[in-house]
Amino acid sequence: MEYDWRQEGSVEKATRRNDRWFINTTNSGGFGVDFNGEIKEGQEIELACINGSQVVGVKLDGIIIMLKTEKDIKRERKEWLTEYHQKNLDTYNKNKDVWKQDINNLSFKLKKRMNRIIKENGGFKKAFVKHMASYELFCCVEADKLVTYFKTILFCDGKKLEEDEIQKTYRDHIRNSSDYVGMPKMSDNHSGNTHGGSIHLAVGIALGMDV
């Protein structure tokens, strides 16, 4: 296996926890490395990376302190996938009944969407364990909260608003939420992606589209 080493400046900060070091360099962000020696600020550092940013080799002042073989990388990938699958399976077993109830409680178009996603991804269990159907369901549940509200702002001064105008009006309402009665309480667990996805679904339904 060939390694493409790149200069990363010098060690800006190094913190040790047992035999694992967390390093920040002057040229890039942080990463962790298992090493039982000493790492000092100011040492020149080079990294070998794969997949853009996955560190598989570290040099300090020209000396290799860590270098993973192709066998190491494959083994770690297999271990990560096993752990990831088990985590998803545990989450599924814990939440499957709640998810089923959430789907049953969805409005017609959003329930139809979730049933389509489940069918396209090999059934209920496979969809939720392997294909992030829980993400889609969260967006659908949150979208249902918004649909009625969006229908009330669909017409502004007698003019039917387009999708981007509805979204802009909604975001204006969020900034001044105390001025608007009937704005739904959204989950505190949103990321930017899930919030945007929920808005997009709800606007589509308010405008009479299929989702």
pLDDT tens column, 144-165: 998 988 888 777 666 677 778 8
Largest CA-CA distance found in the chain, in angstroms, rounded = 72
Write down the pLDDT at residue 179. 55
Write down the pLDDT at residue 52. 78
Write down the pLDDT at residue 79. 96
Write down the pLDDT at residue 111. 97
> What is the rounded CA–CA span in Å between residue 145 and residue 202?
8
The residue with tokens 């589509």 is 204
The residue with tokens 């709800």 is 202
| Alpha-helix runs per DSSP H in 20-175 | 70-104, 108-120, 124-130, 133-152, 163-175
Per-residue pLDDT tens over the stretch 91-114: 999 999 999 999 999 999 999 999
183, 149 in Cβ contact below 8 A? yes
Write down the pLDDT at residue 198. 92
Question: In the chain, which residues have pLDDT < 50?
Answer: none
The residue with tokens 């794969």 is 50
The residue with tokens 């800006």 is 12
What is the value of pTM for the model shown?
0.70
Of 4, 5, 49, 41, which Cα lies nearest the Cα of 25? 41
Write down the pLDDT at residue 155. 76
Of 156, 158, 138, which Cα lies nearest the Cα of 201? 138
Listed in sequence order, the residues at least 6 apart from 93 whose beta carbon sits closer than 8 Å to its beta carbon are none
